[in-house]
Amino acid sequence: MNIVIVTQKVDSNDPILGFFVSWIKAFAQKYTNVIVVCLEKGKYELPENVQVYSLGKENGISRFKYVKNFFKYIWKFRNQYDSVFVHMNGEYMLLGGLLWKLLGKKTVMWRNHKSGSWKTDIAGMLADTVCYTSTGSYTATFKNAVQMPVGVDESLFHPIQGIERKQNSFLYVGRISPIKNIDKMVDGFIALHTQNPELIFLFDIVGPADSELDKNYKTSLLEKIKNAGLAEKITFHEAVPQAQLPELYSSHQFCINLTASGSFDKTIWESVFCGCVPIVHNTSFLDEIPVDIREKIGVRSLDAQNVAQVLKNTDTTAELMQIGKQHSLANLMEQLTKIL
């Protein structure tokens, strides 16, 4: 069997989307030939049975040419693939869905986000199957929707030997954006510091702030941290490639993720795989773990005092690592290939 994968970016060094290179490698073990059509490509190493074609964003071409190249590739290789996996971007299903139906191709769309629109509805109808990971995702209610594991690469994400896990060390990994509620994290630490000024802790925030909105958000956070006198305890760091994330997780005791339900940040389970305990607001994650653990790591309210309470009461547990195995990349591939 041969497959076309349509995705946003193929670049091992991308701090947000770099994980998808591991997914492509996993597909390459399941399929004879893998054709990847992406909006943009960067640095990657993939098996010989994988071909990557870019729509040209890295060369700065126009949106019209993106669309033209998209149709060129899916038509040119029409006799060289049996199924289609559209990752994250429903626009590609809107563009190619009817043609793929006419060509008799099996189509699966992956979309996991709390918001959606009529475009998402149409893309979902054009796809044979829609995959999601969070029960709060907009697509979770679609008649053709199937819940999937998150897909964490166990060969990469595991505790790194020889790295000291610092006590009372906290980590956030991801985009610096208001939707991630980083301000609520900072407020929690400010409340914690107010309660106990002698408490020793470190909070590292790792990730990019790309848009103007996100950059302004980061500036406001820096000002808030400075005014609270916590500039030496709460620090921002540049984004790192996927390959370096296990070292970060392995050197921290806790990883905070206060994103609301509807999406499902992979960093939650990545941190677990590395022995770093997550502190989570996402009910989709919390609802699938035992009540006793949920009460320790679950942030039900984003009120500063409540966040502070969870920060100081959290304890480590090995049970999460065992639960997390169901979200491995290997398990995801087993389930995806059944519907593709």
At 71, is the pLDDT very low, low, confident or very high (cuts 50, 70, 90)?
very high
Q: Give the DSSP H or E segment for 280.
A: strand 277-280
Question: pTM to 2 decimals?
Answer: 0.91
What domains sit in the chain, N to C, each tagged with a CATH number? 2-151+327-339 (3.40.50.2000), 169-325 (3.40.50.2000)
Alpha carbon distance 262, 180 (integer Å): 12
For residues 155 and 284, which has the higher predicted lDDT (pLDDT)?
155
Check pLDDT > 80 for residue 118.
yes
- Tens of pLDDT, residue by residue over 207-252, are 999 999 999 999 999 999 999 999 999 999 999 999 999 999 999 9
pLDDT over 70, % of the chain: 98
What is the predicted pLDDT for the residue at 105?
A: 98
- Tens of pLDDT, residue by residue over 264-298, are 678 999 999 999 999 999 888 888 888 888 888 99
**Residue-wise DSSP of 216-263:** HHHHHHHHHHHHTT-TTTEEEE----GGGHHHHHHT-SEEEE-PPBTB
What is the predicted pLDDT for the residue at 314?
A: 63
At 186, is the pLDDT very low, low, confident or very high (cuts 50, 70, 90)?
very high
Alpha carbon distance 193, 275 (integer Å): 26
Mean pLDDT of all residues in 41-58:
96
Mean pLDDT of all residues in 188-209:
95
